[in-house]
Amino acid sequence: QVQLVESGGGLVQLGGSLRLSCAASTSIFSINVMGWYRQAPGKQRELVAASPRFGSRNYADSVKGRFTISRDTAKNAVYLQMNSLKQEDTAVYYCNAQQVLGTTAYDYWGQGTQVTVSS
C-alpha cells in the first residue's frame, strides 16, 4: 500500500509558476510509473506528466515546454514544476503511482490539490 499526499497547490496569476509536491509513504524506487493527472470541472481526468522508472518522461501536449516532472527517490517524492500557467491549467491535480508486483498491478492516488490560475 502506497499513500500519496500532494501539496503546493493554490491561486496563481496568469503566467505565473507553481511547484506541486507529492510525498509517498514508502520507497518509490520500485514504483513503475509516478505521474500527475488533473481534472477540471466537468471534464475527465487527464494525464499531465509521467515519470517511468525506466525510460523517458512524457507530457500532455498542452503542457509540453511549460511543465516538468521530476522524481526524487531519496526523498520518496515526485514534483511537478509548472511555469507559464494558463487559465486552462486550472484543475485539481492528482499524484498517481503505478506499481507492478509479480503479476498484479496496483494503482494509487493522492487526494488532490487545487490549482487555480486567475487573470
| Chain segment 82-109, per-residue pLDDT in tens | 999 999 999 999 999 999 989 999 999 9
Q: What angle do CA 8, 14, 19 make, to 5 degrees?
A: 20
Burial class for 36, CB neighbours closer than 10 Å (0-12, 13-18, 19+): buried
| Chain segment 58-85, per-residue pLDDT in tens | 999 999 999 999 999 999 999 999 999 9
CB atoms closer than 10 angstroms to residue 102: 5
The per-residue pLDDT for 89 is: 98
Burial class for 6, CB neighbours closer than 10 Å (0-12, 13-18, 19+): buried
**Nearest of 67, 11, 3 to residue 31 by alpha carbon:** 3
| Chain segment 42-51, per-residue pLDDT in tens | 999 999 999 9
